[in-house]
Structure 1
């Protein structure tokens, strides 16, 4: 008997879980509510902790075809333009942690995961399939879909995003709450930028109540720019693709240094995202219960100030399959626990939750803390700048994160 894994959600987290489970030998059924697979145009930073996992899934060649490999991460003052600190990337970080640091267009990562899944086989990709609810029993789990369809499997992975319906049924703990931070996102062809605005590195500009991050994607041909400011928007907070107002952003950042101001003026259009999150995870119960495992934003939506949102979803998928493999889940088993005592699905998912929740909580908390540091003004900002100049790379490097799981 082949084990069957049900997955709700066809974003990066859902596709990662599907690929990892299929590679381990499970039958996979993935359900995506949209009529087609797609991703919004935004960049993602992939630290060595994530790249190692993707390489392990056989995606090295596919990644090399689309990523950019920045040579360093530079932190600058948004007001004066002065350099505050540098972290060497490129060959140095690859030597230190066993894998490089990449930047990638979100749609490119999604597309290569989807292509790998389609080549893998054993995966049913169901589009326009809205998940209504689930019901667990001692022997399986049933997923109720729209139009009275039902899918049954051994376990369910809830990878249906920050406003996860799976999480709501499992935990009934409300929705993510707005942070008062707005993210303006844009992609600009580097060929259309003046020479002095083009870049092969990651640059973070820090200023009072704002910061801007820029880095290359699409083999370096495009520049991803994200500007974070304080404010609120009206409307449905679960949809991030609000119409961005370039004039409004230019006004907000008018007091910044000339190089940053020139960059903002060079961007013709923005997409606006109101950032909403949950508090850092407080227990393993927020990661899995019974036959249901939560993954990615469904479990731990986080601020992008550590550049690890997609990374933690991919780590979730890798650790989930690792725990299932160690418990004999993918072996031909007629019933839960056939591989040994304590190896039933709920027990295995609990091991996954125990392995993941504290690391995810640490990343969530560090991202929140970074927001305070990035946006500091007056005395706190001065202290931040002095600390970066004195401690340099030691302050920017994060061995606990980049070594991976």
Structure 2
């Protein structure tokens, strides 16, 4: 069996470790931070994500921490009128085989981490930032920031959108700044009026902005995320932002959405980035996964799900691997690139054409969505939410 090195101990890296260990490989996970943990706020999990988690052996543990929503709801952020809603209960679950849920990022990361810690074939190494790698026909060696080296049969770069493994493998520079600023806050549910504790992922769309909220933390907290298409060009990650600044940037919100936005506290700011899809993210015994391979904007709510799919696909394709590791990694790249590229481009399109139009374009969007039946909506998301065989789930 092979010895795999995994750069990055986030959701994708830990999922990859579990997938590879499940097929008998030994795995060393190298995490740049001093501890294994997860920052951020809420995350959405569609049925394809739950299917991957079940295959990784942690589906039950994530379900115990999740909030299962009743619908995905798009609202007019200025008039407070409903544009469209897609139920994700009975018929949806029967069609796609799993629920749709929201969790705090740590409630997804923690079960993955616990399973890795319990795995005899998995070694977790903190404070080990991978800086570069070398490889030959037989092995790959990584060098960490403190000068240490580790050698294995393959390297998986799961080190995020600013991946150092990608920088060497693809060499495409810094991520693209998309010009959208997002402000995030998580508040206790006790602060929220009972009439507004909707069991739904709700998005309020307005001209060049949108506002999303949903309950997380097993029902204990409300996740708030307000996004502005402001042409921002400098990347920002987690900058504390005064409440007054956030409120002043969204003056057009209708009464209900405004009330919820005003509940936010301890806001933090990000300027969103992604990358263009690439054809090749594998080089010999080195490959990428998740945000390192195909980082996407959050608008299709598929970033984590696609990383989980990658992990399962990698594990399955490397089952029984010997001297043919490079060929199997090339196959993984070929199997996954079309589907993930389509998800990347969909996320961009949703952020511009679906959530941010104004005037006649917004009216056309409302008419188009309002004409769709429940079954029509399911048909549109089927290629994403319905995937279960991640070695065959190409673009659609």
TM more than 0.5: yes
Instruction: Work out whether 1:384 is the aligned partner of 2:378.
Output: no
State the distance in 1 between where 2:247 and 2:260 align.
10
Counterpart of 1:317? 311
Structure 1: give runs of 5+ residues left out of the alignment.
Answer: 337-343
Instruction: Give the C-alpha shift of residue 244 in structure 1.
Output: 2.3
Counterpart of 1:18? 17
Counterpart of 2:208? 209
Instruction: Give the C-alpha shift of residue 233 in structure 1.
Output: 5.8
Counterpart of 2:243? 246
Counterpart of 1:339? none
Instruction: Give the C-alpha shift of residue 232 in structure 1.
Output: 5.6
For residue 289 of structure 2, the aligned residue among 271, 295, 311 is: 295
Counterpart of 2:381? 398
Counterpart of 2:82? 83
CA deviation map 1:342-384 (0-9, x unaligned): xx11110010000101101000000011011210011111100
Instruction: Work out whether 1:272 is the aligned partner of 2:269.
Output: yes
Equivalent pair of 2:20/2:318 in contact (CA under 8 Å): no
Instruction: Give the C-alpha shift of residue 234 in structure 1.
Output: 8.0
Q: Aligned with 1:178: secondary structure?
A: strand
Equivalent pair of 1:43/1:224 in contact (CA under 8 Å): yes
Q: Aligned with 1:65: secondary structure?
A: helix
Instruction: Give the C-alpha shift of residue 269 in structure 1.
Output: 2.3
Tell me whether 223-232 or 366-375 shows the greater mean CA deviation: 223-232
Instruction: Give the C-alpha shift of residue 26 in structure 1.
Output: 0.7
Instruction: Give the C-alpha shift of residue 40 in structure 1.
Output: 1.4
Counterpart of 1:200? 199
Equivalent pair of 2:186/2:265 in contact (CA under 8 Å): no
State the distance in 2 between where 1:22 and 1:274 align.
36
Counterpart of 1:341? none
Equivalent pair of 2:158/2:291 in contact (CA under 8 Å): yes
State the distance in 2 between where 1:320 and 1:156 align.
12
Instruction: Give the C-alpha shift of residue 91 in structure 1.
Output: 2.8
Equivalent pair of 1:134/1:143 in contact (CA under 8 Å): yes
Instruction: Work out whether 1:108 is the aligned partner of 2:107.
Output: yes
Counterpart of 2:328? 348
State the distance in 1 between where 2:341 and 2:63 align.
31
What is the total number of aligned residue pairs between the two structures? 385
Instruction: Give the C-alpha shift of residue 305 in structure 1.
Output: 0.4
State the distance in 2 between where 1:34 and 1:19 align.
20
Equivalent pair of 1:23/1:120 in contact (CA under 8 Å): no
Instruction: Give the direction of change, closer, same or farther, for the CA distance of 1:395–1:379 in structure 2 (3 Å limit).
Output: farther
Aligned pairs for 1:2-401 within 5 A:
2-231=1-230, 237=235, 240-279=237-276, 281-283=277-279, 285=280, 287-325=281-319, 328-329=320-321, 333=322, 336=323, 344-373=324-353, 374-393=355-374, 394-395=376-377, 397-401=380-384
State the distance in 2 between where 1:57 and 1:297 align.
19
Structure 2: give runs of 5+ residues left out of the alignment.
Answer: 391-396
Instruction: Give the C-alpha shift of residue 399 in structure 1.
Output: 0.4
Q: Aligned with 1:17: secondary structure?
A: helix
The TM-score with structure 1 as length reference comes to 0.92
Tell me whether 246-255 or 267-276 shows the greater mean CA deviation: 246-255
Equivalent pair of 1:200/1:220 in contact (CA under 8 Å): no
The TM-score with structure 2 as length reference comes to 0.94
Equivalent pair of 1:85/1:392 in contact (CA under 8 Å): no
CA deviation map 1:285-309 (0-9, x unaligned): 1x21211110111111111000011
Computed over aligned residues only, the root mean square deviation of the Cα atoms, in angstroms, reads 1.5
Equivalent pair of 2:180/2:227 in contact (CA under 8 Å): yes
State the distance in 2 between where 1:382 and 1:230 align.
19
